[in-house]
């Protein structure tokens, strides 16, 4: 289709606007005809709402799936992963195999988690099995570390309950839903400090599932050295890596923003732990991401007008086991440093090249399988059609079985997952 792409955004970030302008796209108002709308999660609710929503035309594309929250709300993500495990168990899939203690061999990648207030009694039962454990409480619908706190006593939950102006855990409606997860209290430390990984994953379609991994993720470090001391449970500069929290710390470095690139982390791990275990760690991370997307794919509203760039938060423990902490629907596009800005500008640019091929007026009926040369710093992580098709590239299949193939000598998802080890 001829003509220039007409764009709207309700997220006033320069990395977005500069990308649109560089392409010669034309800005229009929300109530005018538009082709591309990079919108907040609040706006997407209105676009697809039964009451106020409207029908999108074939030349309109938006940057969220209608019910993205099935993956990006902390409680729903866990619920969907638990459901996925049970379904695989029923099917007798080897992926759902458990060890002698009843732990999943391959699908144990989210910390033990309960919903509060709904699962309060189950949580208490679990807590009493190991009363010295630390748990982390997070409001389901908030981001940037807001409302998070750690507990190691049941009395702290009771105090939270009273502070929330309700004396019982019965009524869901009177109280904001929280998740409570077993705290990973043995994180891998670098320079004595805790960090997590922020990785970007683009999903162009859920059925068939096609997703891409961005090579230029980063680590976010705490500003204060990690300690398991209970006296520091309330010190979020020790425990939470969110930049929104760490930037208020006395030791926050405004030049590097407390961040490392993923390639720096890889180099560090290769030199301290060896190349083989480093490759295995990154393959495990790829595995986690693909399985989390497979878990939500059946319930996701796979609207042809949508794509999504998720921000995955992964924590690595001191045994080099990665854990999925949460997935963000609107990963921050704010730039805290110069290198941050370069990364995020490139992320948006590469995302647009896949979502709106050729920078032309979109047609949501296209097959959503762009050629390799437009991927930029994205690499294909999983392509369901390619993985199932007889004509799948032999090299990709080989790499798949090497990278995500075996754990304890068993093939996890033979020939299905396309993964690449980043150098």
The Cα 7–Cα 318 span in angstroms is 46
Are 56 and 34 contacting, i.e. CB atoms less than 8 angstroms apart? no
User: What would the pLDDT profile of 92-106 be if each residue is shown by its tens digit?
Assistant: 999 999 999 889 999
User: What would the pLDDT profile of 104-162 be if each residue is shown by its tens digit?
Assistant: 999 999 999 999 888 999 999 999 998 889 898 888 866 655 678 888 888 888 777 66
According to CATH, the superfamily of the domain at 1-69+194-222+249-399 is: ATP-grasp fold, B domain (3.30.470.20)
The helix/strand/coil state of 370 is: coil
Q: What is the mean pLDDT of residues 285-289?
A: 97
Tokens of 385: 């059609």
The Cα 221–Cα 265 span in angstroms is 12
Q: Domain extents for the chain?
A: 1-69+194-222+249-399, 112-156+176-183
Biggest CA pair distance of the chain: 66
* Nearest Cα residue to 323 out of 194, 140, 202: 194
User: What would the pLDDT profile of 371-390 be if each residue is shown by its tens digit?
Assistant: 888 999 999 999 998 887 64
Are 317 and 188 contacting, i.e. CB atoms less than 8 angstroms apart? yes
User: What would the pLDDT profile of 147-204 be if each residue is shown by its tens digit?
Assistant: 788 888 888 887 776 655 444 444 444 457 889 999 998 999 999 988 999 999 999 9
Lowest average pLDDT, out of 235-239, 345-349, 365-369, 417-421, goes to 417-421
Orientation angle between helical segments 262-272 and 275-296, nearest 10 degrees: 130
The Cα 190–Cα 268 span in angstroms is 9
For the residues of 23-62, what is the DSSP string, one character each? TT-EE--TTS--SEEE--HHHHHHHT-TTT--PPPTT-EE
Torsion of CA 99, 104, 108, 113, to 10 degrees: -110
The Cα 165–Cα 160 span in angstroms is 9
The Cα 65–Cα 70 span in angstroms is 10
Percent of the chain scored above 90 by pLDDT?
56
User: What would the pLDDT profile of 200-244 be if each residue is shown by its tens digit?
Assistant: 999 999 999 999 999 999 998 888 788 776 666 666 656 676 656
């Amino acid at each position: 289709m001829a003509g220039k792409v007409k764009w709207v955004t309700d997220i006033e970030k320069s990395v977005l606007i500069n990308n649109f302008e560089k392409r010669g796209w034309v800005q229009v108002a929300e109530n005018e005809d538009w082709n591309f709308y990079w919108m907040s999660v609040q706006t997407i609710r209105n676009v697809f709402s039964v009451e106020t929503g409207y029908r999108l035309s074939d030349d309109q594309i938006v940057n969220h799936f209608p019910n993205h929250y099935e993956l990006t709300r902390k409680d729903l993500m866990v619920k969907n992963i638990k459901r996925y495990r049970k379904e695989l168990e029923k099917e007798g899939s080897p992926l759902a195999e458990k060890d002698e203690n009843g732990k999943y061999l391959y699908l144990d990648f989210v910390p033990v988690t309960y919903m509060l207030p709904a699962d309060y009694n189950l949580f208490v039962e679990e807590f009493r099995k190991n009363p010295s454990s630390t748990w982390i409480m997070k409001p389901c619908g908030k981001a940037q570390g807001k409302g998070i706190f750690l507990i190691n006593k049941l009395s702290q939950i009771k105090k939270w309950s009273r502070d929330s102006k309700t004396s019982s855990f019965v009524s869901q409606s009177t109280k904001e839903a929280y998740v409570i997860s077993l705290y990973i209290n043995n994180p891998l430390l670098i320079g004595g400090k805790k960090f997590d990984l922020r990785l970007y994953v683009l999903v162009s379609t859920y059925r068939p599932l096609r997703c891409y991994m961005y090579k230029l993720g980063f680590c976010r470090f705490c500003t204060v050295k990690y300690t398991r001391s209970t006296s520091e449970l309330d010190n979020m500069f020790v425990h939470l890596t969110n930049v929104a929290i760490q930037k208020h710390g006395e030791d926050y470095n405004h030049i590097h923003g407390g961040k490392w690139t993923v390639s720096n982390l890889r180099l560090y791990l290769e030199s301290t732990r060896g190349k083989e275990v480093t490759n295995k760690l990154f393959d495990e991370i790829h595995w986690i991401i693909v399985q989390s997307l497979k878990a939500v794919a059946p319930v996701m509203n796979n609207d042809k007008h949508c794509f999504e760039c998720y921000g995955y938060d992964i924590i690595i423990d001191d045994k080099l086991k990665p854990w999925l902490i949460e997935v963000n629907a609107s990963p921050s596009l704010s730039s805290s440093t110069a290198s941050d800005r370069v990364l995020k500008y490139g992320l948006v640019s590469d995302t647009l090249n896949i979502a709106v091929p050729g920078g032309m007026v979109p047609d949501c009926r296209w097959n959503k399988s762009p050629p390799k040369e437009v991927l930029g710093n994205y690499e294909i992580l999983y392509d369901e059609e390619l993985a199932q098709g007889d004509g799948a590239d032999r090299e990709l299949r080989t790499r798949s079985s090497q990278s995500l193939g075996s754990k304890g000598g068993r093939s996890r998802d033979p020939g299905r997952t396309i993964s690449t080890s980043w150098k």
